[in-house]
Amino acid sequence: MKILVIGSGGREHALVWKLANDSTQPEMYCAPGNAGTAELGLNVNLAATDLEGICHWCRSKRPDLVVIGPEAPLCAGLTDRLELDGIRVFGPNQAAAELEGSKEFAKEVMASAGVPTSAYRSFTDADKACAYVRKHGAPIVVKADGLAAGKGVTVAETIDQAEDAIRDALEGNAFGSAGCRVVVEDFLVGEEASILALIDGENIALLASSQDHKRIFEKDEGPNTGGMGAYSPASIVNDIVREKVIHEVYEPILAELKRRGIIYKGVLYAGLMIHDNQPSVVEFNCRFGDPETQAVIARWNGDMLPALDAVIDGTLSNNLINWKPQPSACVVMVAGGYPGAYSKGLPIGNIALANEVQDTVVFHAGTALEEKEIVTAGGRVLGITSIGDDLEDALSKAYIAVETISYQGAFYRNDIGHRELRRIIDGK
C-alpha cells in the first residue's frame, strides 16, 4: 500500500510517523517533506501548492491514499482535482475548506447555523474599520480574512494596536491578498482549547482535546505564531463542554453546510474559547492543527489508517479511535527572530540523542538535509513530543530532549502547559 502525505511541517511528520507505524506497513511518501519524513519514507520534490505536479505524480504512481496536511492546497481544490483522477483523498473539498479559507465566510455560516461565536464586522476600507474600532473600543480582535499561516490575527489590547493591525493588512499589504479584507471581532473572555473531529459527511468523531500556545513569549505575551507548543488532554474540555461542542458546534455547522450543498469530509478543527463550561468558536481550520496534532497523535492508541479510510467511505464510528490514558506535551523549538525574520541553513545537533529520551519523538518541521546534515529551513524548526504518567512527567521528558538539541539562535517557551499545571496545583 502506498500513502502520500502532502506538506512539510511538524504536522506532516507526525502523520507520516503514525501511518508508517500502521500494522499494514504502508510505503510512505511525503511532498515535499522534511528531514524527519525522509527517515520514514521517500520525500517527493513537489511543493504542497504545486497542484499540477502533485496530480501528475499521483496519476503516474497511483497511491492508495493521499492525506493533505496544509490548508493552502485544500483551499486551492487539490482534493477535488485528485478525486477527479480516481485517487482516494483524506481532506475536505474546496467548498468545504472555505471555512478556513475565509474568516468572513466562516463567521457568516456560524451566524446562520446559530453556532456560539463572537460578534463581528468585516471591512475592506481601513478608515471605516478604524472608525468602527474607535466606536467599539478595546480589547478587540483583528483578523486577515484569508490564509496567513497562523499569523494574521491580532488580539489588540488598545485601539492604537487595532488600528495598526487594520492598516498593516489593508494598506500595508502585510498578508498579501489574504489581508485585502479584515474581520473585526469582539474579544472573547475565557480559556482557549482545541478540538479536532473526524467527519465522514454524516458522522462525527471527536479526537482528544488539546491546548495550543500561540504567543511567542512566556505568560502568553508577544505576537502570535503558528504555535509554540501544546498538550493533551486539556481538562477544561470536560464532558459537559464536549457534549456542547458536538451539539452546539459540529452538528449545526455541518447541517448548515449541507443546506448550502456542501458535504464536509475530513478533519475539522474547532479553536474554542471556553468560559463557565460554555464553548464559543474562535476559528475553524479544515485540517489537522499544528502543533496540536503532534500532541494528539502521540496519544492515539493503535492504527490510525482505518479511521481515515472510514472518513472517505462514510463508515466512521468512535470505536475506530482509542487513546492512551497518559497525557502528552509538545514543545516547539523555533529559529531566532521568529515570527519575524530568521536565518536558515543552520546545522542542528543531537536530534538522535534527543530521540533516545524515554517516550519522546522529535517531530521535524522547518528542517532540511544538506549534504547529509540536518539544518534549519523554517521558523518553527522542531516539535519535541513526549508522553508521561502525568503532564508534569511528559513535560519533564520533553524539556530534557529540548535541552539536548542545539542550533544557533534556538528559542522555545519554558511554560508550555502552564494553565493545566496551575489547575493541577490548585486541585491539590
CATH of the domain at 296: 3.30.470.20
Number of domains in the chain: 4
315 in the same domain as 272? yes
If DSSP states are collapsed to H, E and C, what string results for 242-259? HHHHHHHHHHHHHHHHHH
The list of the chain residues with pLDDT below 50 reads none
Q: Which of 133, 165, 186 is the last residue of a domain?
A: 186
147 within some domain:
yes
244 within some domain:
yes
| Cβ contact 288:269 at 8 Å | yes
| pLDDT at residue number 255 | 97
14 in the same domain as 81? yes
133 in the same domain as 87? no
229 in the same domain as 161? no
Cα(155)–Cα(354) distance, integer angstroms: 35
Which residue range(s) make up the domain with 423?
Answer: 328-427
206 in the same domain as 307? yes
Cα(283)–Cα(270) distance, integer angstroms: 6
104 within some domain:
no
Helical spans, DSSP H, in 47-195:
51-61, 71-75, 78-84, 94-101, 103-113, 126-136, 159-170
266 within some domain:
yes
212 in the same domain as 178? no
Three-class DSSP category at 412:
coil
Cα(290)–Cα(14) distance, integer angstroms: 10
263 in the same domain as 169? no
| pLDDT at residue number 368 | 97
Three-class DSSP category at 355:
helix
Q: Which residue has the cell 508522553?
A: 387
- Listed in sequence order, the residues at least 6 apart from 25 whose beta carbon sits closer than 8 Å to its beta carbon are none
Q: Which of 320, 351, 371 is the last residue of a domain?
A: 320
235 in the same domain as 271? yes
For residue 162 the three cell numbers come to: 487595532
The CA–CA distances, whole Å, from 250 to 73, 82, 111, 318, 354 equal 23, 26, 13, 15, 39
| pLDDT at residue number 101 | 93
245 in the same domain as 175? no
CATH code for the domain of 375: 3.90.600.10
106 within some domain:
no
217 in the same domain as 180? no
Burial-class residue 249 by CB neighbours within 10 Å (0-12, 13-18, 19+): buried
CATH code for the domain of 154: 3.30.1490.20
22 in the same domain as 139? no
Q: Which of 132, 151, 186 is the last residue of a domain?
A: 186
CATH code for the domain of 25: 3.40.50.20
Residues 134-161 have pLDDT tens digits of 999 999 999 999 887 767 888 999 999 9
